[in-house]
Structure 1
Amino acid sequence: MKKIILSASWLLGISLFSSPMASTHWNQFRGPNDGVAPNAKLPINFSDTKNVKWRTPIHDLGWSSPVIWEKQVWVTTAKKDGTELFAVCVNLETGKIEHDIKVFDVANPQNEWSHLNTHATPTPIIEAGRIYVHFGSYGTACLDTQTGRKLWERRDLNCDHRVRAASCPIIDGDLIFLTYDGVDQQFVAALEKENGKTRWMTKRTYKSGRVPPKDKPNDNRKSYATPTIIEHDGKKQLISPAAEATYSYDPSTGKELWFIRHGSGYGYNVTCRPIFRHGLIFTNSGISKKLFAIDPSGSGDVTESHIKWTTRRGVSNIPAPLIVGENLYMITDSGGMVSCYNAKTGKQIFSERLGGLQNHWVSPVYANGKIYFFSKDGGASVIEASSEFKVLSKNEFDTVFVSMPAIAGDSMIIRSDTHLYRIAKGYEIKALPKIASTTKRSKNTKGLSKKPQQRNPNNIVDVTAYYLGGKTNSKGIFECSFLIEEPGVPKDEWPQVKFTGDRFQAAFSGYKQYQKVNLDLAKRTALRKK
């Protein structure tokens, strides 16, 4: 590792608004303060090598976001076919893997619509000495963070997620809360943190009566949102979005307090975690893309009485809003449209495009006057957090970002589809091995550029590779990837190459996962190894 500038700023311990230990405790999905780290001094220019302290490969595939407690960073991952589920711990300072724990074996994993989700998408939640890892209907477990020993597990809470689970666990007091919004049944459960025993379970009550497409029965009942705990008028509420309604429950008993209906359109596939600011709850309706600002003081059905403002302009399905001061920021799932609203009134302040490839599944984060956006296309954009749209930087990685960043002191941990990165000022690391004759992705088009890069004739273009799989992406274009064998290099550091385009589907889709092939990178063809 090449160290450019000696920086000890991470030792200073920066605190987040209400959490004195938040500089080293990014304990849950979106962190302890809904994606806000006000004093973190992060670089605005970074890449796969620049301003990177370390980069650690994570085996297999998962979209869970990293969580941090003191010197540990944890993520979950899974075999691509879902048969094995893991929890991985990385040392925050060195990037070295400290634990790699198989948590569960899965006999019959769900593998339909594999391009829409992974088998390890819910983000775990961590506290002193314990981490709670959740894989939806596959199971939930509590692990000792020092030894990796499993303290308890539950595998009897089930629903049909259809495209696997995504809702993350949260904790409050002595309880951990789990969400199951499947196509068959929908409920929230509270378990005792100490032993995993059920304290209460509450079923969802509201049904709109809408009929989903015939090929996806009950699709309007499934959802993937993560709840949050708020305190209003001296009483706690568990705010839990479902597919067709957002509910408030008494977190100690599970009693339903109030709900709002998501209204016209199919309000399912909700992924937004609610935010509580300025006395209002901000959440959205999923596919119907409607943002709500809700007064949490009501009871029963409060749809007509307690929604203070609502909008559809610039609202996303997957990324959640970010609130900084009185401003609410959003980015659309596709197109890179950034919108800013006054959070109290709903008045739109601006709506501008970032430009280029911008397909966002990652909610933005805020640090020290700046907002960071990460796209599925490997882009990382930074804008000024103000009432004027000002782009500060655009950075590119040759990877995919789906997971939320985590912030610790003056550094940020981001997870791609293959690696964990620690982004911090003053460091530089070596580039990943390059693949001969691969074409660089154009900034303005997805997949392979029409004009290939010139090759060094001495480079090897006929390599041994392993087929990792193919799928149709969100734009309906076929993508597939290969792992390139590099003798003398550890297997977890072997590079990958991806081919994008429907012309590759007939050539490659018949291969089995991990099948060994001869790959001609010049002609982009493969032959089976004998």
Structure 2
Amino acid sequence: MMTNKINFSALIFLFMVFVSCQSEQQNWTHFRGSNMDGHANVETAPLHWSDTENVVWEVPVNGLGWSSPVVYGNQVWVTSAEKEGTAFYALCFDLETGKLLNEQTVFTAEDPQRIHGTNSYATPTPCIENGRVYVHYGSFGTACINTKNFEVIWQRNDMPCDHMQGPASSPILYKDMLIVHLEGTEDPYVVALDKKTGETIWKSVRPKEIYDPLEPVYRKSYQTPIVVNVDGQDLLISNSAFMCFAHDVNTGEVVWTFEYGYDSTVSQPLFYNGLVFVNSGWIFLDGRPSFTRQFAIDPTGEGDVTESHQVWMYEDEVPQIPTPVIVDGLMYMVHDRGMVTCLDAMTGEEVWKERLKGNFNASPIYAGGNIYFINVKGYCTIVKPGDSFNKVAENDINETVKAVPVFVGDKMLLRTQKHLFLFK
């Protein structure tokens, strides 16, 4: 009798583990995945597709937006906006069927700021958790929506930012906080909001003594931060224009800084094996943006760690927009113009280089044992990670793609300029 009870308990435990694993594979909660490391928690992923092949469903998406989808349970959420920036949308689709479950206008603007021609008014990717999705359109507004009844729980449109080239930084969730970056040409800052109410918990403005002497154009940043644990302390890693900041994520207090350059950081930081990896944004030569650098930093310092805690620096065809991905100790990064570089993540030593077709905005994603590189024209090269270039497959969707592919279960969601696809 006791044996039967033990067996029954073991079965219940295994079932709960199975359900938990299945749930994790069904969710994609932030930009570049639930862990924001570019890794999909799936065992298999699609290898072959086109606009007609292996399509589970295809649906149009109203407006224009370069934000990536997020998934929780059976819901897929994307943001979009009118091309002219007069209205900002949130859309929810059924994961299994593609049915539009809800579409609503969250904010409007009578006289929106101008943006760069390659950007959109809905580039920040939302973040999602059980019962709530958080949408962010930069200075145009931030809101929390109930995913069960689609009602707006709270919204903020009182956080100013002169983006100059439009919003792009995605929000992130940390415990009870929603953290957003509003780093424009004047008084750039990061703010932590109470995710339940939208009220400000803390706000950290970049130091005036450093940023005010810079020309306004060199103060702006479009990166999405990460939170890492260093010696028991959770740090918000924020690679802003001119320098990287590590904040105590609970208070906003700056713990350390690392100086590297000037303008328009976009690529998200990474954390691997005790090191933080940050992108410099543009490095200037003769007064013009010329190239970017990738840095590896020991995050255990305090104060200005520029000289003391740099582990390595690499500057040959480092991307400005796409974020690298690290797999088994190797960093893979694709330059905006198509050169893929594989580095040893701990030393910065080059392992191999290979040029891919086209230009790139989307960050590579590791899924089902392979790395997916999708260029702006929708052409995807799938590569097996390792110490040499090993192409697995190529696919073409024939539409503009700037969002990262999203992997749930054994399928892939892809947001294009006009549509949302689910591939098998």
Q: Deviations over 1:342-390 (max 9, x none)?
A: 1111111001112x3x100000001122110111122111111111101
| Separation in 2, partners of 1:19, 1:157 | 38
Structure 2 residue 117 is matched with structure 1 residue 122: no
Equivalent residue of 2:218, what SS? helix
2:258 maps to a residue whose letter is I
Shift of 1:328: 0.4
**Aligned pairs for 1:87-236 within 5 A:** 87-113=90-116, 115-205=117-207, 207=210, 218-236=216-234
Q: Deviations over 1:280-310 (max 9, x none)?
A: 0111012231001111100111000111011
Shift of 1:163: 1.3
Q: Which 10-residue stretch deviates more, 34-43 or 146-155?
A: 34-43
Percent identical residues: 40
Q: Is the 8 A contact 2:45 2:410 kept in 1?
A: yes
Q: Deviations over 1:231-287 (max 9, x none)?
A: 111110011111111100011111000010014xxx311111111111001110122
Partner of 1:376: 376
Rate the CA distance shift 1:45–1:13 in 2: closer, same or farther, 3 A.
farther
Rate the CA distance shift 1:36–1:62 in 2: closer, same or farther, 3 A.
same
2:326 maps to a residue whose letter is I
1:43 maps to a residue whose letter is P
Structure 2 residue 403 is matched with structure 1 residue 403: yes
- What RMSD over aligned residues (CA atoms) do the two structures have, in Å? 1.9
Considering only CA atoms, is the larger Rg found in Structure 1 or Structure 2?
1
| Separation in 2, partners of 1:208, 1:135 | 24
Structure 2 residue 343 is matched with structure 1 residue 317: no
Equivalent residue of 2:25, what SS? coil
Q: Deviations over 1:125-150 (max 9, x none)?
A: 10000001001100100000111101
| Separation in 2, partners of 1:14, 1:210 | 55
Equivalent residue of 2:139, what SS? helix
| Separation in 2, partners of 1:415, 1:13 | 32
Shift of 1:41: 1.0
Partner of residue 295 from structure 1, selected from 295, 298, 301: 298
Q: Is the 8 A contact 2:49 2:423 kept in 1?
A: yes
**Aligned pairs for 1:254-293 within 5 A:** 254-263=252-261, 267-288=262-283, 289-293=292-296
| Separation in 1, partners of 2:22, 2:32 | 17
| Separation in 2, partners of 1:43, 1:125 | 24
2:351 maps to a residue whose letter is I
Equivalent residue of 1:286, what SS? coil
Q: Is the 8 A contact 1:379 1:394 kept in 2?
A: yes
2:151 maps to a residue whose letter is R
Shift of 1:207: 2.6
Partner of 1:52: 55
Unmatched 5+ stretches in structure 1: 1-11, 212-216, 425-530
Q: Is the 8 A contact 1:160 1:185 kept in 2?
A: no
Equivalent residue of 2:210, what SS? coil
Rate the CA distance shift 1:208–1:155 in 2: closer, same or farther, 3 A.
closer
Shift of 1:13: 11
Rate the CA distance shift 1:61–1:256 in 2: closer, same or farther, 3 A.
same
Shift of 1:116: 2.5
| Separation in 2, partners of 1:225, 1:304 | 23
**Aligned pairs for 1:408-423 within 5 A:** 408-423=408-423
Partner of residue 243 from structure 1, selected from 233, 241, 244: 241
Partner of 1:360: 360
| Separation in 2, partners of 1:14, 1:396 | 37
Equivalent residue of 1:45, what SS? coil
Partner of 2:11: none
Q: Is the 8 A contact 1:230 1:238 kept in 2?
A: yes
Shift of 1:158: 0.8
Q: Which 10-residue stretch deviates more, 29-38 or 75-84?
A: 29-38
Shift of 1:38: 5.2
Partner of residue 29 from structure 1, selected from 25, 28, 31: 31
| Separation in 2, partners of 1:54, 1:387 | 36
Equivalent residue of 2:67, what SS? coil
How many residues are paired up?
A: 399
Q: Is the 8 A contact 2:164 2:185 kept in 1?
A: yes
| Separation in 1, partners of 2:129, 2:160 | 25
Q: Is the 8 A contact 1:314 1:351 kept in 2?
A: no
Normalised by the length of structure 2, the TM-score is 0.91
1:234 maps to a residue whose letter is G
Shift of 1:314: 2.7
Q: Is the 8 A contact 2:39 2:365 kept in 1?
A: yes
Partner of 1:67: 70
| Separation in 1, partners of 2:211, 2:309 | 19
Q: Deviations over 1:184-219 (max 9, x none)?
A: 1201101101101111101112737876xxxxx511
| Separation in 2, partners of 1:153, 1:69 | 21
| Separation in 1, partners of 2:21, 2:87 | 35
Shift of 1:92: 0.4
Q: Is the 8 A contact 1:337 1:353 kept in 2?
A: yes
Q: Is the 8 A contact 2:45 2:407 kept in 1?
A: no
1:175 maps to a residue whose letter is M
2:216 maps to a residue whose letter is N
2:375 maps to a residue whose letter is S
| Separation in 2, partners of 1:210, 1:256 | 20
Unmatched 5+ stretches in structure 2: 1-14, 284-291
Partner of 1:392: 392
2:419 maps to a residue whose letter is H
| Separation in 2, partners of 1:229, 1:21 | 23
Rate the CA distance shift 1:149–1:55 in 2: closer, same or farther, 3 A.
same
1:188 maps to a residue whose letter is V
